[in-house]
Structures are given as structure tokens and as C-alpha cells.
Amino acid sequence: MGEESLASNDSQSTKGNPKLTVLPLVALIFYDVSGGPFGIEDSVKAGGGPLLSLLGFLIFPLIWSIPEALVTAELATSFPENGGYVLWISSAFGPFWGFQVGFWKWFGGVMDNALYPVLFLDYLKRSFPVFNQLTARIPALLGITASLTYLNYRGLNIIGFGAVGLAIFSLSPFLVMGLLSIPRIKPRQWLVVDFGKVDWRGYFNSMFWNLNYWDKASTLAGEVENPSRTFPKALLGAVVLVVVSYLIPLLSGTGALRTPPSEWSDGYFAEVGFLIGGVWLKWWIQAAAAMSNMGLFEAEMSGDAFQLLGMSEMGMLPTIFSSRSKYGTPTFSILCSATGVVFLSWMSFQEIVEFLNFLYSVAMLLEFAAFIKLRIKKPDLHRPYKVPLQTFGVTVLCIPPALLLVLVMCLASAKTFVVSGGVIILGLFLYPAMEHAKAEKWATFDTAPVSDRILLDPLPTACQEHTEVTDDASVSLLSGSVIVTKETQDSEIMLEGILKVE
């Protein structure tokens, strides 16, 4: 593929399709990770009372969310291409392991996305019992999936600003509920815990599932405007938004009501709204929950589709996965993810959460290892944002979340080990199958992957934006500074950080 062809493709794919700025990216990360407090009710029941739930959403972000967000900020700005963690792993450990992580994350993402149309109907059936019947439920599920898939096809910028509106609508009733609950709050009720009734597996799975996927937005880094500045700001904003969106409803509901922990299960916040504000607040929360599932679906599908696009641009998947619509979206990748959603929608909520957590834990261990190895292997890698710690410091930073990952995996059921193990084994066979298809020319693969495109354009747009910065002023999740250097070797360093197809 020649330079003119590449330039033509790039201009065609981006023309008329503006890139993501800070606010839409904050909203997409928010929906990748959270989507609001819907589903965290189980943490009160599994924790034997409010205390462990409240402590969990205060402590877990410190030992898990912030380290993962920091790692994502550094690596996403160092590799500003679609594909995210697939690029990071490939650069550190080679394309075989990059493909494995990409397959695990994509499969887990599709499995996760199968939940949201189901949950959307579950909230609606409280007011419209007809959706309990299969004759109405199945067409509704297919219709919802098709409608949301089409919206995803229409453009990432639309999805980003749509997520902003959905986030405002979904969180507003909880802000109102928090204000109404203030006169009724009794702080001593936050300290209630019955350790004899603690379900540790359910508790850790609930905490983990509600606080992970900070790295998901990296899969569409190539669609972000000036990622070196945008990603750190967006991740910081999303961390604050997620933690606040969990703590305010929990503090309000558990502090204002004397409800037994056994009553706290999925959807209970609607009842909390009724007891605190009345039927109007209950309906508002139910509507917010239903709409939040739309935002979760769109954010997940965008991440999954652009991950496949990135893997195609790396030469790991056929070029059909990187073909774009006139809206700049990866058409075939979106259809592939939507098909997976339809086929996996029969699984139960609890099963999906545990399977997701296991696959995610395996992949994240490799991501942390890649982060540390790249610090050692490529100390001169161009890092527009750099975690302000030396190699020993970032290693210590990664130990607590790594231990948490191992703990979550150890708590998994035998069924989870079997199903997740089957997915991992399938990935081991898929990579050589793709390589064989490439060698036999059964499908068209990109002959000028990411690394070759950098050769043709040694100073990508992202780097041009970086060199315009003349001082070290920007944002940092820890110290408030981003180290941006102007060196004559920028293009070589950038090239070293991008996947080299061996």
C-alpha cells in the first residue's frame, strides 16, 4: 500500500467526522466503567450491611481504579492508535499475546453488552408487564439491539455527546434523592455490618465489576483529539464522577432508611427513591436506569468495534474489520459485535459478571506486566503523559491491583474456570489460524500495518501536537504535570512504541 493510498484512506475516514474531546470522552469512560449506581445495591447485601459497601467504594478506587487509570493514561498517550491494550501488549510481549488479550477483551465485552438490552427490558417490565412474555420480549430485545447498533454506526461523536446527555439524565435523580435525604440521615446506620452474613465472593465480584474497564476507552485512542492532553483529563474526570455517583446514593439510602441488608438487590434504588421522595422519584430512577443501559451498550460496542478495527490495522485480522462507513465507524466490526450480543443474551446476570471478571483479570495482569516491561525495555519511549514515578515506584503501584486480580480469580466458581478456560484455549488456536489464513491468502490482510504507516509518516499528527508545547504544563492524575519533551529523535521513539510486526 503506497503513501498516497494511505493518505487517501485516512482523509476519507476522518472527513466530516470530528474527533472526541474531553467531555464526550469523560462520558464514554464513565459508561465503560459504571453508568451510574444501578447494580451496586448487591454490595450492601453481600457485605452484610452498609459499612463494607461504603468502605469498598472509598478504598477500592485507591488500590484499583486510580492505578489502572494512571497506567491507561500513560500507555494510551504513548500509543495514540486504535487498538489500545492490544498495541501495548504486542509492543512488550509480541503480537501473539497482543492477539490473545484482544480476543479475551472483545469476547468479554460482547458478553457484557448482552446484559444491557435485557436489563433495559427488566426495568420496563415493572411498569409494562407485557415484557415478561416471550412473544413480546424476544422481538423487543432484537429491536433494541438493532436500534442501538444503528445509532453506533452513525458516528462516534454522536455516541460521545449522547453519552453526556444520558449521564446527566441518569445521575440527576440521585442528586435530588441525596438532597431530600439529608434531614433523615442518621450516620450511625452507615456503620452497620454483620460479618456472619458477608458473602465475600459476591462482595468482591460486585466491587470489581463496578470499578473496572478504565482501559476500555484506549481502544479508540485514534479517534481522540490531542490524546496526550485529552486522555489524562478525561480519566481524572471519570474517576471522580464514578466514585461520587456511587457514594451519594449509598450514603443517602443507607443513612436515611432502616432497611435490612437482605432487601438490597438489583433495582432497589427505585424503592429507595419511593421511600425518600415519593412515586415520582421512583419513576424517574426507573427511567434513568433504563436509559443508562443504553449508554452502557453504546460505550461498550464502540470500544469493542474500534478494538477490532485497530487489530485489523495491525494486520491481526482481515481488512474487512477496518472498513469504515461514511460516518467513520467500522461497519463490519460493529455488526460482528452485535451478532455476538444476540447469541449471548441468554446468560444470567450473575454468570456473566463472574465470567467477565475472570477474563478481565487475566488480561489486566498482562497489561500491568507490559506497563512495567515497557518502562524497562523502552525507557526512551515517547510518553506525552508519564506517571511521575520511576520504574520501582510504578512496580509498587501495580502490586495492590495485581493482588486484587489474583484474589478475584481465586474466588471464581468451577463453572467460571471451565468457561473462561475454554475462551482462553480458543484464543490460542485462533491466532495461528489467522496467520495461516494470511499465508494462504484466504482473506485480505493489511500489508502496511501500524508500524509501516509510521514509517511513511514519521511524525504523526499526535506527535506534531506534542512538539508545539514549549513547556511542561499540562495535567496529571497525581502531580498536576505532564512531561512533554522536544527532541530530534521524537519520530524514532514514537516508532519504537508502536507494534512492530515480526
pLDDT band at 10; cut points 50, 70, 90: very low
Domain of 122, CATH number, reads: 1.20.1740.10
What pLDDT is stored for residue 232 in this prediction?
92
In-domain check, residue 55:
yes
| Side-chain-facing half-sphere of 391: CA atoms under 13 Å | 11
User: pLDDT tens digits for 226-236?
Assistant: 888 899 999 99
Chain centroid offset of residue 150 CA: 20
Place of cell 409494562: 128
464 pLDDT more than 80: no
| Side-chain-facing half-sphere of 151: CA atoms under 13 Å | 19
499 pLDDT more than 60: no
Number of domains in the chain: 1
The helix/strand/coil state of 498 is coil
pLDDT band at 108; cut points 50, 70, 90: confident
365 pLDDT more than 90: yes
Query: How many C-beta atoms surround the C-beta of residue 427 within 10 A?
Result: 19
What pLDDT is stored for residue 467 in this prediction?
36
348 pLDDT more than 60: yes
Contacts of 215 (CB under 8 A, 6+ apart): 68, 71, 72, 76, 84, 85, 364, 367
What pLDDT is stored for residue 501 in this prediction?
40
Query: How many C-beta atoms surround the C-beta of residue 393 within 10 A?
Result: 12
In-domain check, residue 477:
yes
In-domain check, residue 313:
yes
Residue 244: closest CA among 22, 87, 36: 36
What mean pLDDT comes out for the span 328-356?
Answer: 80
The range of the structural domain enclosing residue 261 comes to 3-497
In-domain check, residue 482:
yes
In-domain check, residue 502:
no
What rounded mean pLDDT belongs to the chain?
A: 83
Classify the C-alpha dihedral 402-408-413-416 as positive or negative. Answer: negative
Instruction: Report which DSSP code applies to 479.
Output: S
Query: How many C-beta atoms surround the C-beta of residue 418 within 10 A?
Result: 9
* Residue 158 CB burial class (10 angstroms; 0-12, 13-18, ≥19): middle
What mean pLDDT comes out for the span 181-203?
Answer: 92
What pLDDT is stored for residue 4 in this prediction?
40
Contacts of 471 (CB under 8 A, 6+ apart): none
pTM for this structure? 0.81
